[in-house]
Amino acid sequence: MELDLYNELMQKSKELDISIKSLRKTGQDYATAYTNYRVALAEELLKLKAEGYAITLAGDIARGKREIAHLKFEEISKEAIYKANLESINAIKLQIKLLSEQLSREYSNEK
């Protein structure tokens, strides 16, 4: 029984390492998507302002443009993936904690 728990604990530890590496990548993807959206939005706002649109109206017009809306969609999607990875890491950490506690109980019962 202890060996099974230990093996499962080691497997969860490997999963945690993989998830943390994945988090680094998805974090970068999210940051890139955020930057792309903000830069494109700022450029569009400046363009609309130069065309004479009121800045309050320009914001709505710019966000409604297909390219800008698509970049916002990309940002939101990347953020969701990043947050899902964080939740996965937290779940794996909890599983590791529970397995460690169970392994400790099993070990102390044998003494």
User: What percent of the chain clears pLDDT 90, i.e. is strictly above it?
Assistant: 85
Predicted confidence band of residue 111 (pLDDT cuts 50, 70, 90):
low
Residue 5 has pLDDT above 90, yes or no: no
- Kindly state the percentage of the chain with pLDDT values over 70: 97
Domain that holds residue 99: 2-110
CA distance 19 to 12: 10
Domain count, the chain: 1
Higher pLDDT, 106 or 84: 84
| Predicted local confidence at residue 50, as pLDDT | 96
pLDDT digits (tens, 9 = 90+) for 53-70: 998 899 999 999 999 999
